[in-house]
Structure 1
Amino acid sequence: MSPAPSASPRARVRVPLRFPDGFSVDAELVTFHGLADGLEHLAVVLGDPGPVPLVRLHSECLTGDVFGSARCDCGPQLREAVERVADRGGVLLYLRQEGRGIGLYNKLDAYALQDQGLDTYEANAALGLPEDARDYTAAAQMLGALGVGALDLLSNNPDKAEQLRTWGVDVRKRVPTGVFATDHNVRYLRAKVLHTQHTLPLTELSAS
């Protein structure tokens, strides 16, 4: 294991966050110089992080985070993560990796194929795209720039922990997120379990 290439904080600003359900919390937003992929990732520091903060790596999802799409669980996961990280003290990294790294237009092309019966991973493959193109090097850089060397990771995705550990981040444990199943996203959630070993209870994701 080796540390990720160094990055440094660029700016820090206090922002009051307000959610449609009425939840509110003050956050410190941090931008960075020197991120490996050149993207404008954002750290959202919530509460008092402490020596072993709770950390969430949240990949941008315009359709779910902004428009409330029920085809995924991204919006509810973001809302849950902000509150849980604020309660414990920690950092939410908002990563500009739309569609598991394939981009917004490709994601919507994959949605069209899902409407024809493919699952999310099969649709990506049919488009000649990887199942999951996300790289968490920048996330490790951001944590290093914030002085976070050890953490508990709020995630059902084992790949996130494995990639962070590759860069020398001490992931003490993975803390599962909630299960936000709907009639519209249950096939998507089951595919995450079957294709990429997300730790979601299949018994709660029976097809409806």
Structure 2
Amino acid sequence: MPARPPAATIRTQLMLPLRFADGYATTARVFSFDGLVDGREHLAFGLGDRTGAIASPGSDHSAPDSSAPSGPPRAEPLVRPHSECLTGDVLGSQRCDCGPQLREAVERIADHGGFLLYLRQEGRGIGLYAKLDAYALQDAGLDTYQANLALGYAEDERDYTVAAQMLHALGLTRVALLSNNPDKATQLERLGVTVTERMPTGLHLSAANAGYLAAKARHGSHTWARKHAV
């Protein structure tokens, strides 16, 4: 039976223009939160028809923002919980597919209407320094999951309780999930968020990440929709 996590509340919300290196630009409403169980600074980005203000306890946002697109919102927004990746998201590393997935997700969610949840859990939850330690072990022949285990961590230490808290704070209990990872859907369902559909991203394949993606398919049962050469 689903167990709803402790309640979180919206702390701050404001409009933020976004622009990517390839020139794609859009506008998001960014939300911060109080009461997240891990105490970290996770963010939600409302995109497309979800850029209007959301009322929260103690806020003065009692009506939708006039800058939001007109028309009724979709009943089931497209949501991607995206784990922070400094090397991929910011620096453009091709050892993973995180940067291209983030770019794809923002455009698809903006077109559909929904939220990107940017979760501060680098390296599948082990942190930046440990992720770099794992990279060194991968250079010595281990795959991404074996390297985590060799360092004394689980294959994947990510916990999506905060993602469920954020969705509940945004008033969402039913979502279409943009993810290749079945564990995200399983955890969200367990935390009281109904996943009506799981939609994969494209396969952002490069010479540098082929082994990494193969390990994700083999160990984590990840699936992709189509191939993108990068």
* Distance of 1:15 and 1:187 partners within structure 2: 36
In structure 2, the partner of 1:67 is: 91
What are the ranges of 5 or more consecutive residues in structure 1 without an aligned counterpart? none
In structure 1, the partner of 2:100 is: 76
In structure 2, the partner of 1:14 is: 15
Output one character per residue of 1:153-192: Cα deviation in whole Å (capped at 9) or x when no partner.
0000000000000011010010010000100001000000
In structure 1, the partner of 2:67 is: none
Q: 1:17 is aligned with what amino acid? A: L
In structure 2, the partner of 1:199 is: 223
Give the paired residue count.
204
* Distance of 2:105 and 2:165 partners within structure 1: 21
Within a 5 Å distance, the mapping from 1:53-202 to structure 2 comes to 53-200=77-224
SS of 1:70's equivalent in the other structure is coil
Shift of 1:2: 2.1
Is the counterpart of residue 26 in structure 1 residue 50 in structure 2?
A: no
What are the ranges of 5 or more consecutive residues in structure 2 without an aligned counterpart? 51-73
SS of 1:99's equivalent in the other structure is helix
Give the 4+ runs in structure 1 shifted more than 4 A: none
Structure with bigger gyration radius? 2
Conserved 8 A contact 1:193-1:200: no
Percent identical across equivalent pairs? 63
Output one character per residue of 1:103-150: Cα deviation in whole Å (capped at 9) or x when no partner.
000000000010011100011111111100000000000000000111
* Distance of 1:22 and 1:196 partners within structure 2: 33
TM-score normalised according to structure 2 size? 0.86
* Distance of 1:200 and 1:95 partners within structure 2: 21
SS of 1:6's equivalent in the other structure is coil
92-101 vs 121-130, which moves further: 121-130
Taking only aligned residues, the RMSD between alpha carbons, in angstroms, comes to 1.4
* Distance of 2:183 and 2:19 partners within structure 1: 30
In structure 1, the partner of 2:45 is: 44
* Distance of 1:123 and 1:58 partners within structure 2: 21
Q: 2:216 is aligned with what amino acid? A: K
Q: 1:152 is aligned with what amino acid? A: A
